[in-house]
Amino acid sequence: ITAEKAGFDHFMLKEIYEQPKAYRDTMGARIDAASNKVVMNEIGMTPEHIRSIRHVHIVACGTAYHAGLVGKTVIEKLTRIPVETDVASEYRYRAPIITPETLVIVVSQSGETADTLAALREAKRNGARVVAITNVVGSSVAREADDVIVTWAGPEIAVASTKAYTSQLIAFYLFGLYLAQSLGTQDASYIADVVAAMQEMPNKVEAILAQADTFKNAAEQISTHDNLFFIGRGLDYAVALEGSLKLKEISYIHSEAYAAGELKHGTLALIEEGIPVIALATQEELFEKTVSNIKEVKARGAHVFGLNAEGETELAKVVDEVLTIPATLPLLMPALSVVPLQLLSYYASLARGNDVDKPRNLAKSVTVE
Ligand code: G6P
């Protein structure tokens, strides 16, 4: 068992550290470095089919659903095709409007989640084309989908998903760019810029991992609390949801992730002296708005940890502690900003003496509806 963990204390930590490799492997041959274009030979859709897509549905459970929330923004931004995102256990029961012009993307690390598989079948029954993003070649989801984008994260053992989630983000970036190339919705030069920035991501994740002690220190501070908040806007909000889920899963600390601008519509009532708030402020366009929301919680006594990107100097003036990660394009930021949150959850769980790899009541793969 120790050997399998390659010297790490837990599978989760090992898997967090495997992310630079998972990014490289998932990009792999899908990036043509000479032209900075995306190549996806696994997608069998014809250009005509791609042009016929009128709406995209992304369906998944748990962490994979959170990857889908990022995927929605990525695909909408790159292609301007409307995207809806559903948790798989809700999808079928809301009579979703699925037609042959719908592209349904199911996301599943294991490829065996019962609700996700049922959603895939419902989509196919209604004539939609189904693309699966999965980490397991030959899984049920992979076998039944029309096209399969494999995330090459390698086996994920810890119940709390880390490298599978970030590889799913990479898969969404690649697929979004691929669609944009096929549709001509983005300039080749913009696509080349995104692709170039993606290739720098593994090194940037390594830089984050190299400062793990900073996040360990923050984790030890929050580990004595029973309640906290994550806030953010746009893609920061999607990452906040994943950060909050991760923390709940393994530390058992209750947290809520809130769209920063929505706090004042109710949840602000729960902010009291000393409560930790983790504020993500990595999205340039939304920065000023997020800062005003940080001031709202500061005024009520919150202890704010602010997450920003290198080069940004204003956040330090309004928060109690700044956590800084390397800069990248705002669209790609989730694949960096989630890493400190993974470390935060890991070290908070450790500080509380929990079984990090096997949290109570949870299973790695859920094959019942
Ligand atoms: C379980 C796991 C989660 C996971 C979810 C979906 O609940 O504990 O970590 O995100 O299932 O799993 P999948 O294999 O479909 O990605």
- What pLDDT, in 10s, does the model give residues 14-53? 999 999 999 999 999 999 999 999 999 999 999 999 999 9
| pLDDT (0 to 100) of residue 4 | 87
Cβ of 226: how many Cβ atoms within 10 Å? 9
Q: Rounded to the nearest whole angstrom, what is the distance from the C-alpha of residue 286 to the centroid of ligand 1?
A: 31
Structure tokens at 64: 């994979």
CA of 272 to the centre of ligand 1 (A): 33
pLDDT digits (tens, 9 = 90+) for 289-319: 999 999 999 999 999 999 999 999 999 999 9
Percent above pLDDT 70 for the chain = 99
76 token code pair: 């909408």
Angle at 63 between CA 162 and CA 323, to 5 degrees: 55
- Ligand 1 atom closest to 134 (CA): 16
Q: State the pLDDT confidence band at 368, using cuts at 50, 70 and 90.
A: confident
CA–centroid distance, 108 to ligand 1, in Å, is: 7
Regarding the beta carbon of 120 and ligand 1, being less than 6 Å apart is answered no
Distance 35 CA to ligand 1 centre (A): 36
Instruction: Please confirm, yes or no, whether 364 is among the known catalytic residues.
Output: yes
Taking residues 137-155, report their average pLDDT.
Answer: 98
**CB of 149 closer than 8 Å to CB of 26:** no
Write down how long the chain is.
369
Q: Is the distance from the beta carbon of residue 61 to the nearest atom of ligand 1 less than 6 Å?
A: yes
| Phi, psi of 146, rounded to the nearest 5 degrees | -75, -40
pLDDT reading at 3 higher than 70: no
Query: For a pocket test of ligand 1, which of 115, 161, 172, 367 has the largest count of ligand atoms closer than 8 A to its C-beta?
Result: 161
Give yes or no for a contact between 37 and 192, defined as CB atoms under 8 angstroms apart. Answer: yes
For 190-221, how does the pLDDT look when each residue is reduced to its tens digit (9 = 90+)? Answer: 999 999 999 999 999 999 999 999 999 999 99
Mean pLDDT of 59-73: 98
Q: Is the predicted pLDDT of residue 2 greater than 80, yes or no? A: no
